[in-house]
Amino acid sequence: MKTIIYTKLSKNKGSPRLFIEGQRLLSSGIKPGQRYNVLYESVKVVLQFTDSGERSISKRTRRGREHPVIDINNRSLERLASCGRVRIIISCDCITITVHHHDRKSKARTQRLFGMLNSDRPLEMVSLAHGAGIMDHAIHQGLVDIGIPVRLAAAIEVEERYIEASLTNNPVWDDQSVAIHAPMQEVELDKIGECDLLCAGLPCTGASLAGRAKNKLNIAEEHSTAGALFFTFINAVNMLNPSVIILENVPAYQTTASMTVIRSVLHTLGYTVHETILNGNALGAIENRDRFVMVGVTQALEGFNADMIQSVRSKETSINQILSDVPADSDRWRTYQYLHDKAQKDAAAGKGFKRQLLNGSEESCGTIGRGYKKARSTEPFLVHPDTGLQRLFTPEEHARLKAVPEFLVEGLSETVAHEVLGQSVIHSAFVALGRLIGNTIGDLACLQEDKAIS
């Protein structure tokens, strides 16, 4: 029979050591005294069994039984040991030691990344749950700001209206990009090809507190459509083998079972996981929106530190600075009496729901969500200074509150514009993240080049 072992080479007296004993050898027909030669290749070592071999299988006696032992302590194993983990295949005629497939993929993605940078080719990005591509646009801008070219290789989006909006307005697409309109879990990810960056804004409908309450969920993973998407996301990481992974969601996602699994799997695949909460006010926008962000970097990018994100713009001093000129007699101004009545009932019942009625002098506002056009009771409304009537922010104002370039929602219906903005990100925060990622990549690329020259 054949035996396969996934392990690490140990160390003895400063040199790598290959040590195997016992039934794993016996079961493959290998016995004490059997002779073999050791053949060293660049990333492979073969123990070839032959009667004229220079070495022989040792033995150890335990409980009256002889066990075969292979013990090689040789610096020729250094190249394998430097990769981390190894795969050992034991058969009756040979033993083959190669680099562990996870470490092989880790090395391949790092070489690909530095190869793209050193040849001035744009990095390849793939986007999952793309929406209208607002986060992708921000990451692109951040990278390009510091001189790292990037292109959108492929994007997956289930909602037709959103991908249409992105294709119409978003400059991240080029002639070679692939737009995939489909549920993420149905896409043949292996046909996309490997990439350098993977961006994902997994739907938060099961993870957010409002989503759990509305859908009567005990845990986020119970959601009928979004609950299992973390599994597709992990598959995408495994198949696309990116050097950098960006996952954003509501802060509550950080404590889900999904995120626990993601952390564990990414660690196994050779990524270092960084997590942070990006705040809109702190990173250049009026909307005081918190967003959980996970950045997984291949372990060669050891200099990345999510805590080093710095704002790339100064937010406006008040909401008045982003307002459009909406005439006092516009039909946008309304009484919203039903929301007033609901607020009074909620207060009488001791509920914590309160309306956000703003006059424009405020330095910030609360989060504006996907369903903003429905005029929900807890989201921001602007109050007219003279009439006391109220209105929702226009899509253009909504974009400005999030520091999103207005052209990304140009020509969209109000419903679609508010939806793609409401479920997206603070644009300036992710520009800042893109710059930090780019600086880390660029610094390491220069270091690699310096080493090659020296």
pLDDT at 349: 87
Rounded CA-CA distance 172/245 in Å is 18
DSSP at 122: P
Rounded CA-CA distance 49/12 in Å is 25
Asked if 432 and 142 count as a contact pair (C-beta separation under 8 A), the reply is yes
Asked if 433 and 139 count as a contact pair (C-beta separation under 8 A), the reply is yes
Task: Return the structure tokens found at 131.
Answer: 């929406």
pLDDT at 148: 95
Cα angle, residue 117 at apex, residues 305 and 192 outer, rounded to 5°: 90
Alpha helices in 40-181 (DSSP H): 78-82, 101-118, 134-145, 160-169
pLDDT at 223: 44
What are phi and psi for residue 444, nearest 5 degrees? -70, -35
- The pLDDT tens digits along the chain (454 residues) read 899 999 888 888 778 888 888 888 988 889 999 999 999 887 888 999 999 999 999 988 887 788 899 888 877 777 776 667 899 999 989 999 998 999 889 999 999 999 999 899 999 999 999 999 999 999 999 999 999 999 999 999 999 999 999 999 999 999 999 999 999 999 999 999 999 999 999 886 545 555 545 555 455 555 455 558 899 999 999 999 999 999 999 999 999 999 999 999 999 999 999 999 999 999 999 999 999 999 999 988 888 999 999 999 999 999 999 999 999 999 999 999 999 999 899 888 888 788 999 999 999 999 999 999 999 989 999 999 999 999 999 999 999 999 999 999 999 999 999 999 999 999 999 999 999 999 999 877 665 554 444 4
Between β-strands 150-157 and 123-128, what pairing exists: parallel, antiparallel or unpaired?
Answer: parallel
pLDDT at 314: 95
| pTM for this entry | 0.88
Closest CA to 242 of 125, 135, 128, 140: 125
pLDDT at 216: 54
- Could you give the count of Cα atoms lying within 13 Å of 235 in the half-sphere of its Cβ? 15
Rounded CA-CA distance 111/129 in Å is 28
Alpha helices in 125-253 (DSSP H): 134-145, 160-169, 209-215, 229-240
Closest CA to 178 of 215, 212, 153: 153
Q: Which residues pair with 48 in a beta bridge?
A: 37, 94
pLDDT at 56: 93
pLDDT at 199: 98
pLDDT at 453: 41
Rounded CA-CA distance 54/36 in Å is 6
DSSP at 263: H
